[in-house]
Structure 1
């Protein structure tokens, strides 16, 4: 018997999801660490903790799946290919208590038309531990089915805004990370910021009010998680200081021939909040905010 004939040790699984979201949105939901953290847990009993997240070719992602009373499951993902909105390829090694259990090559293909997208994920799987052979395929099938179901749901409440700013990435990052600059351009046209506290670092926060043209006050609280200088930030959006969370957000900064592509993504906590945001024109208002950032870094 050749190695490829050994039953239970090797499997190829294919998963297909039709998603009611644009292609750029499903791509961000699949690749952005802040979004992956929202949908990655297969069940409510599982908590996923991200230890590393470097989403670029050659980068890796390390996470722990935690279930009360059981050993943590460590998952290492290495990105081998990333063709935006088209294809990603990564390896995945799963370990328990330092012992590798399985390895997989995961290929995700994306296609879409307007407000609908299609995701096809192929998993080429190999068991590395003898006690993993019996239920390896069933476990992976159950886990990916659940995770991709959550991904499809998350994508339908995810908003993605993109803008190419004709300025170096260092200048765009600097305007975003400067506590004197950020309140000057943040928010749509006609809005202003009134800051209570601002601490722009990993683990920091920004407590502020957005004040509308008619004087209406909208309390805000940003809690900053990951910050990779000149690459990306992740933060939670709360309704007022220590109020309820209404979105997980991230911003990425990508060099493009001397310009900077800024992508701002938000996973709203509920579908209702997403629909409310779309209803009052959050996408157009967000583009106004990015336009103000552009004016800030290109005006002189």
Structure 2
């Protein structure tokens, strides 16, 4: 084999990664695929900032992001989804470029398995280095990113409900300043709105009032609004208070019905455990139940 042939061979690599994750399979899948969650764990280190320019995790959809490090040129990553089988497998291509020149192309296959509160992710990356050898950088980046993903999954709560109404109706009931306060919150709770602007960059400042009259100040800040598809927002303890979770809601048509997924990545694992302890899962499911009942009554 000539030195040129060896150099060509070095440009191709198959990399394999695996993670055992302390979270249910449905949670792992959401953390892997939901754009709001991907934005949290994608950066391989605190020195790197990842900015998502677009994200559409569906077959034929694509994701474009910029990796930014102070004093260095931005690195652009374009991802295209080729296969998305919920809870089972995803396949995407990935092209990394810098300065307008492609540095690598890769095919990324992820498979999922699990039972109970444990799940597993296996990732195979078939990498072609177009510039310098990218294998070492890819391995380092994926190892760090998957470590982040496992940590994020441990503090993520995912709630789902299938509502017997088209996505248009579910969306219009959720993203309507008149109707949202009427059903939001667990059984027995009501909402008192101070300000509401349900647009990207908008906010909802409100009090949730418990059955015993206890007032819980809330502040939602909306980062993304894609009509009839998804929203992403942050939850704060009172107006301009500390953030306690990044959240998203997605609306997926299933025949004439809509699967609503509500996800929350808590700021710390301790906050997640505290929320579970006071019944946040059950209370969140009650909230989705109130949405269902509200729609059915109209």
Bin the TM-score by the shorter chain: over 0.9
Give the aligned partner of residue 62 of structure 1. Answer: 64
Give the aligned partner of residue 296 of structure 1. Answer: 294
Q: In 2, Cα distance between the equivalents of 1:229 and 1:288? A: 24
Q: 1:112 aligns with which of 93, 111, 114?
A: 114
Find the residue that maps to 2:10 and give its secondary structure.
coil
Give the aligned partner of residue 35 of structure 1. Answer: 37
Find the residue that maps to 1:242 and give its secondary structure.
coil
Which stretch shows the higher mean deviation, 218-227 or 3-12? Answer: 3-12
What's the Cα RMSD here?
A: 1.2
1:296 Cα offset (Å): 1.1
Equivalences for 1:42-57 in 2 at 5 Å?
42-57=44-59
Runs of 4+ in 1 over 3 A off after TM superposition: 1-5
Give the aligned partner of residue 257 of structure 2. Answer: 259
Q: Cα deviation per residue 1:231-271 (whole Å; 9 max; x = unaligned)?
A: 10000111111111100000000111101100000000000
1:46 Cα offset (Å): 0.3
Find the residue that maps to 2:198 and give its secondary structure.
coil
Give the aligned partner of residue 140 of structure 1. Answer: 138
Find the residue that maps to 2:46 and give its secondary structure.
coil
How many equivalent pairs are there? 296
1:116 Cα offset (Å): 0.2
Give the aligned partner of residue 272 of structure 1. Answer: 270
Unpaired runs of at least 5, structure 2: none
Q: 1:93 aligns with which of 92, 95, 100?
A: 95
Find the residue that maps to 1:6 and give its secondary structure.
helix
1:242 aligns with 2:235: no
Q: 1:220 aligns with which of 218, 221, 225?
A: 218
Q: In 2, Cα distance between the equivalents of 1:28 and 1:45? A: 25
Equivalences for 1:65-80 in 2 at 5 Å?
65-80=67-82
Q: Cα deviation per residue 1:25-57 (whole Å; 9 max; x = unaligned)?
A: 000000001000110000000000000011110
Unpaired runs of at least 5, structure 1: none
Q: In 2, Cα distance between the equivalents of 1:236 and 1:176? A: 16
Q: In 1, Cα distance between the equivalents of 2:104 and 2:6? A: 15
1:8 Cα offset (Å): 2.0
1:6 Cα offset (Å): 2.2
Q: In 1, Cα distance between the equivalents of 2:140 and 2:105? A: 16
Equivalences for 1:161-240 in 2 at 5 Å?
161-240=159-238
Q: In 2, Cα distance between the equivalents of 1:237 and 1:286? A: 14
Q: 1:181 to 1:101 in 2, by over 3 A?
A: same
Q: In 2, Cα distance between the equivalents of 1:3 and 1:60? A: 34
With the length of structure 2 as denominator, give the TM-score of the two structures: 0.97
1:5 Cα offset (Å): 7.7
Q: In 1, Cα distance between the equivalents of 2:108 and 2:293? A: 41
Q: 1:225 to 1:3 in 2, by over 3 A?
A: farther
Which stretch shows the higher mean deviation, 213-222 or 42-51? Answer: 213-222
Q: In 1, Cα distance between the equivalents of 2:233 and 2:106? A: 31
Q: In 1, Cα distance between the equivalents of 2:122 and 2:270? A: 28
1:4 Cα offset (Å): 9.0
1:144 Cα offset (Å): 0.2
Find the residue that maps to 1:41 and give its secondary structure.
coil
CA contact (8 A) 1:4 1:10 kept: no
